[in-house]
Structure 1
Amino acid sequence: MGKQLSLPKPPQRIISLVPSQTELLFDLGLAHRIAGITKFCIHPKEQAKQKPIIGGTKNFHFDKIDELQPDLIIGNKEENYKEGIEQLQQKYTVWMSDIYTLDDALEMLQQVGKLTDTEGKAAELEQGIKSGFEQLQPMQPSIKTAYFIWRKPYMAVGSHNIIDHMLQRCGFSNIFADLARYPEITPEQLQQANPQLILLSSEPYPFKEKHIQEFRELCPQALVKMVDGEMFSWYGSRLLHAPAYLQQVIQEVQESL
């Protein structure tokens, strides 16, 4: 957003507006310095439950934030809303991330480490994440894939976002990568695209096993599978666990095709 930040000392009262970045703060050992989080910040479960809620990622409760008197607020361009961030910037120090790839996520991790004076722990997490992704064995050859995030209307993952990047790393060739970032897809479009693999994400729409049949009827030739959306879209310290999970998904797809 073209803003320069100046922090005279490490922040002691941090508000996080993004679930994956909240989890990162906890994993950096900053639990005692987290002043507030959103209602979607659910990890780590027990610790997150004890923190004040400042609304959602796209509807901040400004009065609650004022009560908490943060000395640093961290957000994300895609997950938060511009008007809300601009309003917060008038009063508070607000740091924003903008993430499309694994490299972007690792840079965010380094930056948060610098901001919070936890660079050593951040470097340790970064090394663990890099090492995990270096060992990831993608599908060979890649297969035509559709990844769905919403129902009624159907919405899939397009291009220029972290999920598309993760699909590529798995060797899952995104059939809607030439469309918008999160395009609305008609049943006819899906049938015409003729995917070999359809992945139904657990978030933001909570797809369940019962929805698999719905997609099988549209694309009888495709393998339809539920996946953990956090492992494809959370770009904080959860990336430590993503490679093992993604490898398991790749293996299950290989065995099923």
Structure 2
Amino acid sequence: MKVVSLVPSITEALFDLGLTEHEVAGRTKFCIHPAGKVRHIPVIGGTKNIHLDRIRALQPDLILANKEENVKEQVEALMADFKVIVTDIETVEDNDALLEDLGKLFHKEESAREFNLKIREALNQAALNSKLKAAYLIWKNPYMTVGSDTFIDKILSEIGFENFFKDRKRYPEIQVEDLAGADVIMLSSEPFPFKEKHVEELKTVYPDKTMLIVDGEAFSWYGTHIAKCGDYFKGLIDKVNAEVIK
């Protein structure tokens, strides 16, 4: 079966489950994992600007898309000619089901079960000393955060944080003063590439707050990626615990 993946984290999951370059026929430019394998796969554009002609030239048997990451009109155009599965992942349970479905579809059920177990282990091995309210920033100019109906919100909760903006939806814009009540401010490495200089900017307003650059992939890449993040989450929690105690 020839598959085109329009979703970076799903591309990674396909290879983790055991598919090869002979089966994954097309990917987006943001599909960067696993690096040694995806480099051989034709690029069909970005997640938001798919080149339909490139996909048509590949004549895939199946296209995997995502409700949030891909443009509805482009996906619908592909549906006229190809079988398209549109995923919608908001919770860890959704992710469990995604891997189960991919396992059945590609006859990789055992691999899917193993990754779901590893994901649970990765999320369960870290523990906060106390419940902390975390503000998770994904964008700058304007600042944007995550609401309760996002996968990132669920990962925050799974590792012991309370989303400071849990009363909001999707990816709301906020002002710097809105961060005043947060215990921890997390600046994600993606989609905006926050750096230490951005931490220093916020420190001028909130010098005593715990602020961290965090790995955006660990919080937002559903599929199999979280199974590889156990040590990262544990290290992050240990760092936050130490900061709070200090």
Report the TM-score, using the length of structure 1 for normalisation. Answer: 0.91
Q: Counterpart of 1:153?
A: 142
**Worse-matched range after superposition: 136-145 or 181-190:** 136-145
Q: 1:224 aligns with which of 194, 211, 221?
A: 211
Q: 1:52 aligns with which of 42, 52, 57?
A: 42
Q: CA RMSD in A?
A: 1.2
1:103-134 deviations in whole A, cap 9, x for unaligned?
1111100101111222222222222223333x
Contact 2:129–2:241 (Cα < 8 Å) also in 1: no
Unaligned 5+ segments in structure 1 are 1-11
1:90 matched to 2:117: no
Contact 1:201–1:207 (Cα < 8 Å) also in 2: yes
SS in 2 for 1:218: coil
SS in 1 for 2:174: coil
Q: Counterpart of 1:104?
A: 94
Contact 1:138–1:169 (Cα < 8 Å) also in 2: no
User: How far apart are the structure 2 equivalents of 1:221 and 1:195?
Assistant: 11
Q: Counterpart of 1:207?
A: 194
1:28 matched to 2:17: yes
Q: Counterpart of 2:179?
A: 190
Unaligned 5+ segments in structure 2 are none
User: How far apart are the structure 2 equivalents of 1:227 and 1:37?
Assistant: 26
Q: Counterpart of 1:117?
A: 107
User: How far apart are the structure 1 equivalents of 2:102 and 2:215?
Assistant: 25
Report the TM-score, using the length of structure 2 for normalisation. Answer: 0.95
1:178 matched to 2:167: yes
| CA positional deviation for 1:148 | 0.4
User: How far apart are the structure 2 equivalents of 1:170 and 1:130?
Assistant: 11
User: How far apart are the structure 1 equivalents of 2:28 and 2:238?
Assistant: 35
| CA positional deviation for 1:188 | 2.4
Contact 1:232–1:242 (Cα < 8 Å) also in 2: no
Number of equivalenced pairs: 243
1:128 matched to 2:118: yes
Q: Counterpart of 1:61?
A: 51
1:208-237 deviations in whole A, cap 9, x for unaligned?
111111111222231111110000111111
SS in 1 for 2:100: helix
User: How far apart are the structure 2 equivalents of 1:87 and 1:248?
Assistant: 44
User: How far apart are the structure 2 equivalents of 1:164 and 1:218?
Assistant: 25
Return the letter of the residue paired with 2:56: D
